[in-house]
Amino acid sequence: MDRNLTHRNRKRALKALHFIALFLTMAIICIPGLWIVLNSFRPTVEIMAKPPVWTPSFTLDHYRAMFGGTGEGGVPVFSYFRNSLIVSVVSTLIAILIGMSGGYAFARYRFKGKAGYFVGLMLFRAVPGVALSLPLFIVFAKVGIIDTHFGLILVYVAMNVPFTIWLTDGFFRQIPKELHEAAEIDGCTRWQAFWRVEFPVARSGVASAAIFAFLTSWNEFALASQLTRSVGSKTMPVGLLDFTAEFTINWGGMCALAVLMIVPALVLTFIVQKHLIAGLTFGGVKG
Amino acid sequence: MTEVTLSNVVKYYGKHRAVHGINLAINDGEFVVLVGPSGCGKSTTLRMIAGLEDISDGEVTIAGRVVNDLPPRERNISMVFQNYALYPHMTVRENLGFSLVIAKADEAAIAKAVDEAAEILGLNELMDRKPAELSGGQRQRVAMGRAIVRHPDVFLFDEPLSNLDAKLRTQMRVEIKKLHQRVGNTIIYVTHDQVEAMTLADRIVLMQDGHIVQVGTPLELFNKPNNTFVATFIGSPPMNLVDGKVVGAETIELYGGLSVPVPAAARGLISDGQHVKFGFRADNLMPVGHSVQEEGEKADLELKVTLTEPLGTETVLFTEIAGNEVQAKMLNPRPVRPGEVLKFQLMLDKCHVFDAASAEAIRG
């Protein structure tokens, strides 16, 4: 009887601890984001107040100012948004096309130096992007693609391809090779077998690779801040710097722009997460 | 007419030779089973016929056409895989119709062919399900349905029943045989299970280490095995083999002192002093009073039973002859205690003699 009781109590205690740990972790992850959102709706005085004001007031001043004229703290939000969108979407598409082909090749074919290539690609990931910023700057400046969408897209494709290869390789590896063999016997060419059978089966993997690639490009700051200068090519993270002046930082405005930056990423993740969670619809083969 | 022929077909994997120049002619409408232990090259051979593996050397023809370098889609074959390989993102209906969609058949024709296949295999209830929602036996049937929809020249089966439990396997075996009787196509079937081979095949091709060891009807392989490998692979329980030596022209002395007369089939083909393996099936060694009454030469033996396996209509008795474990069969069984000594009769006419060195059968 007593033993049962102690065990039951221990189980309860563990469960409680589990919840507390989860809560703390989520708090650490979520509170900064929440703080940004809250700050974007607060007057500057309140943001800077010490001790902090716990009952927030609500104002849209920062958003109004941001979309307003240049002289009144406005920034070219639409241009930045457009730049970010173009660069992220195009670089993601290219990275997925190249990365998926590469992942498929690594998963399906045997070729000389395969392991070496793969390790090489992963090593490439290990190089911190910032370390490349100066060489990239010089090369891009000489070639004349500094401060262009094209230059930034090129950089992001290079950053995302290795990771995409690695991720899609794993997904294609999980698809038994009998599926494309069956498709080929059913009359498909190798190309048809891929697009009609293997690609649809791996689409959740491709979707997650795309999300990662998109978010990487969308959020990237270090390289973009070096390689873009003008309104015509600056992306949103770089645009955040517009709110820092020599002696002051417009925290409210920065937070407002940050919110605009977070929203599309969140929406996209929500749309695609269904695919991610739906997971692999295996069952076509004995599993 | 769909004959399939293989002439001197060789498969190399790098430097390793997996299939050593196989010759085989399969007749139209024949059900041929390639059987052998794992790694014997049977699946590789099937995959070469399917076009999923390159043929290193030799020639494969289907319906009189050399297909060596044709891709699978141009060979007009269907294949059922061990793991079914159903398309997981398609419903049963789409799985069945896929080959016709690829072939750009018109919708009415596709619907008709799919319904026909569904009817044959009893899939009507399942048409809108995805493979993940099907049981193993149902998936197996869908895979077969997908194969018959295209009316291929040849059906290829690659161990299609290995993933099913024992009971379902027996059921599906019957369904495959029925299917063959119904559609009458040429079937090439790979398995490692000799029971499947015996029950399904018109002709069995027994393979070992990339060679064909023997080709024949199930009964030919059962009754006239070419060597000890065939003798022990085909039939359950496997054929008993006892080491011995020929003494004179009429007697084989089994090591351990027991002597048996030379079976009629081998008489005159063996020489004094030759080392042999003496083979007989459990069905031909039965306790007196529990055997089939058959004419023919018999030898009487007294043996001690070490273990029994009751199967209902018969009991398999384990005993020893000359230090070799030997299995016997008891019909109308009564309980037997281990250690009991029984009188057995050995049907000499049904016994086999193999050369000890070459393992080849000695037979007139």
Q: Indicate the residue of A178, A200, A285 with minimum beta-carbon distance to B89.
A: A200
Only one residue has tokens 């083999």, namely B241
CB contact under 8 A, B130 and A283: yes
Residue of A nearest to B47 (CA): A181
Residue B85, both tokens: 């390989």
Give the model confidence (pLDDT) of B313-350 as tens digits: 999 999 988 888 999 999 999 999 999 999 999 888 88
Q: Are residues A170 and A214 in the same domain?
A: yes
What's residue A211's pLDDT? 87
Q: Are residues A266 and A160 in the same domain?
A: yes
Q: Are residues A10 and A80 in the same domain?
A: no
Question: If DSSP codes are grouped into helix, strand and coil, which group holds residue A103?
Answer: helix
d(CA A168, CA A107): 9
Name which of B331, B270, B322 is nearest B301 in CA terms: B322
Range of the domain at A172: 71-286
d(CA B148, CA A13): 61
How far B137 CA lies from chain A's nearest CA (Å)? 11
CB contact under 8 A, B73 and A184: yes
Name which of B112, B123, B179 is nearest B148 in CA terms: B179
DSSP A193-234: HIIIIIHHHTHHHHHHHHHHHHHHHHH--HHHHHH--STTT-
**Mean pLDDT, 10 residues at a time, chain A of 287 residues:** 86 95 95 89 85 80 79 77 94 95 91 90 82 90 92 93 90 90 93 92 86 91 89 90 82 89 87 64 41
Q: Are residues A96 and A113 in the same domain?
A: yes
DSSP B124-185: GGGTT--GGGS-HHHHHHHHHHHHHHT--SEEEEESTTTTS-HHHHHHHHHHHHHHHHHH--
B interface with A, Cβ–Cβ below 8 Å: 50-52, 71-73, 77-79, 81-89, 98-99, 102-103, 130-134, 136, 139, 146, 150, 163
Q: Are residues A28 and A158 in the same domain?
A: no
pLDDT digit string (tens) for chain B, length 364 residues: 689 999 999 999 988 999 999 999 999 999 999 999 998 999 999 999 999 999 999 999 999 999 999 999 999 999 999 989 999 999 999 999 999 999 999 999 999 999 999 988 888 899 999 998 998 889 999 999 999 898 899 999 999 998 888 888 898 899 899 989 988 899 999 999 999 999 999 999 999 999 999 999 999 999 999 999 999 999 888 999 999 999 888 888 887 777 888 888 888 888 888 999 999 999 999 998 888 877 888 888 888 999 999 999 999 999 988 888 999 999 999 999 999 999 999 888 889 999 999 999 988 7
Q: Are residues A19 and A98 in the same domain?
A: no
Q: Are A130 and A222 a contacting pair, CB within 8 Å?
A: yes
Size of interface A-B (CB pairs under 8 A): 93
How far B25 CA lies from chain A's nearest CA (Å)? 22
Contact list in B for residue A286 (CB cut-off 8 A) is 82-84, 136, 139, 163
Q: Are residues A93 and A47 in the same domain?
A: no
Contact list in A for residue B162 (CB cut-off 8 A) is none
Residue B276, both tokens: 């042999």
Final residue before a domain boundary, out of A15, A44, A65: A65
Partnered with residue B345 across adjacent β-strands are B286, B300
What's residue B8's pLDDT? 94
The stretches of B164-309 forming alpha helices (DSSP H) are 166-183, 194-200, 218-223, 228-233
CA atoms within 13 A on the CB side of B324: 20
In the chain, the amino acid numbered A267 is V
Only one residue has tokens 């295999």, namely B121
Please compute Rg for chain A using Cα positions. 24
Inter-residue long-range contacts of B119-124, CB under 8 Å, 24+ positions, other chains counted = B120/B145, B120/B148, B120/B179, B120/B182, B121/B145, B121/B148, B121/B175, B121/B179, B123/B92, B123/B96
In B36-86 the beta strands, taken as DSSP E runs, fall at 57-62, 65-66, 77-80
Q: Are residues A52 and A191 in the same domain?
A: no
Only one residue has tokens 């990662």, namely A212
CB contact under 8 A, A185 and B50: yes
Q: Are residues A50 and A181 in the same domain?
A: no
Q: Are residues A143 and A249 in the same domain?
A: yes
Instruction: Residue count of chain A, please give it.
Output: 287
Which CATH number covers residue A254? Answer: 1.10.3720.10
Q: Are residues A53 and A90 in the same domain?
A: no
d(CA B159, CA B155): 13
Contact list in A for residue B155 (CB cut-off 8 A) is none
Q: ipTM of this predicted complex?
A: 0.85
How far B72 CA lies from chain A's nearest CA (Å)? 5
Q: Are B90 and B128 a contacting pair, CB within 8 Å?
A: no
Final residue before a domain boundary, out of A30, A65, A100: A65
d(CA A134, CA A21): 42
Final residue before a domain boundary, out of A65, A88, A107: A65
A interface with B, Cβ–Cβ below 8 Å: 176, 178-179, 181-189, 192, 196-197, 200-201, 280-286
How many Cβ atoms sit within 10 Å of the Cβ of residue A201?
24
Query: A265: exposed, middle or buried (C-beta count within 10 Å: 0-12, 13-18, 19+)?
Result: middle
Q: Are residues A38 and A80 in the same domain?
A: no
- The structural domain count of chain A equals 2
Contact list in A for residue B82 (CB cut-off 8 A) is 178, 286
Contact list in A for residue B84 (CB cut-off 8 A) is 284-286
Residue of B nearest to A286 (CA): B83
Q: Phi first, then psi: what are they for A99, rounded to 5°?
A: -65, -40
Contact list in A for residue B83 (CB cut-off 8 A) is 176, 178, 285-286
